[in-house]
């Protein structure tokens, strides 16, 4: 039996806890999510199209794999149309709705959510040109600062005022490097060569008149990818099949009594303390 003709399509709470639906959300497999919605709500494609603000033909193409969802606003419409709980929204890479009800009043640390690094690239470049300090936790940073055409290298090297930059890279000799290479189906040799290339290119910036650059190597399996410009932190994740720049990006700002921004800043500082300098054993 279908739900009312208008408004969100509601699934049983137990459906959102199913491992297969949670996996589909984490993989952003919207076709699978919509099929689950049909199965557990009894809604027709026409009803789902109305709830998510899409034409039925477009929704049918998504369900049948003829169209791929990539835009954040479409993810939001689908999440709203399915009355998606916050835990499910988080798996999909969306901010919680709980804040709208006032539960996070005064703690709104999640300032924005982006589909991938490409969606926030301009904002990151603007920060790189003005921030007093930049902290990076990544794997290779080839696309961030290591190469001449990297996203942030131009704004950082072209500044008129000094900037302090700390970069944490995965140790190419650590066992975690081989694990990560296998996860993304890359040879260990190619993967670690990329890290070493980054180290060599970053070394070229040593002594730059506008940059106080420090680089260290960590040896844990990479999970979080962070770019912190002064008090603004951009957080994404390394999945078992994708790199951090293709992950959803959370923009976090410090807030009174907040836990996310402070917690991830503490995590960065802890990794930095345990990391070693390239070419040496000192921590």
Q: Which domains does the chain have, with CATH numbers?
A: 13-94 (1.10.260), 112-274 (3.30.870)
- Pair 10, 41: CB distance under 8 Å: yes
Q: Measured in whole angstroms, how far is the alpha carbon of residue 40 from the centre of its chain?
A: 29
Nearest to 125 by CA among 146, 164, 154, 157: 154
CA atoms within 13 A on the CB side of 270: 7
Nearest to 80 by CA among 8, 181, 185: 8
Work out the widest C-alpha separation in the chain, in whole angstroms: 69
User: pTM for this one?
Assistant: 0.64
- Spatial distance between the Cα atoms of 9 and 125, rounded to a whole number of angstroms: 40
* Alpha helices (H) along 109-209: 117-130, 153-157, 175-183, 188-203
Q: What is the average pLDDT score of the chain?
A: 87
Q: Which residues of the chain have pLDDT under 70?
A: 1-6, 96-108, 242, 256-257, 280-283
Q: What is the pLDDT of residues 130-166, one digit of tens each?
A: 999 999 999 999 999 999 999 999 999 999 999 999 9
* pLDDT for 70: 82
* pLDDT for 245: 73
* pLDDT for 194: 96
- Pair 228, 235: CB distance under 8 Å: no
């Amino acid at each position: 039996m279908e739900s009312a003709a208008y408004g969100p399509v509601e699934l049983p709470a137990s459906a959102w806890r199913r491992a297969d639906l949670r996996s589909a959300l984490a993989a952003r497999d919207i076709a699978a999510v919509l099929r689950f919605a049909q199965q557990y709500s009894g809604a027709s494609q026409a009803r789902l199209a109305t709830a998510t603000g899409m034409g039925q033909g477009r929704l049918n193409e998504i369900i049948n794999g003829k169209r791929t969802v990539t835009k954040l606003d479409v993810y939001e419409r689908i999440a709203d149309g399915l009355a998606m709980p916050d835990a499910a929204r988080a798996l999909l890479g969306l901010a919680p709705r709980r804040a709208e009800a006032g539960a996070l009043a005064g703690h709104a640390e999640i300032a924005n959510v982006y589909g991938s690094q490409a969606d926030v690239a301009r904002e990151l470049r603007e920060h790189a040109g003005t921030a007093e300090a930049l902290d990076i936790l990544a794997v290779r940073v080839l696309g961030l600062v290591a190469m001449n055409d990297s996203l942030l290298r131009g704004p950082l090297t072209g500044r008129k005022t000094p900037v302090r930059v700390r970069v944490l890279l995965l140790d190419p000799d650590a066992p975690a490097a081989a694990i990560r290479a296998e996860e993304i189906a890359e040879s260990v040799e190619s993967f670690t060569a990329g890290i070493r290339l980054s180290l060599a290119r970053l070394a070229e910036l040593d002594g730059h008149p506008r940059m106080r650059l420090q680089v260290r190597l960590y040896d844990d399996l990479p999970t979080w990818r962070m770019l912190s410009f002064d008090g603004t932190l951009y957080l994404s994740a390394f999945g078992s099949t994708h790199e951090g720049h293709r992950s959803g990006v959370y923009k976090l700002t410090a807030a009174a009594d907040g836990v996310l921004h402070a917690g991830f800043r503490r995590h960065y500082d802890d990794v930095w303390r345990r990391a070693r300098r390239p070419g040496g054993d000192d921590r």
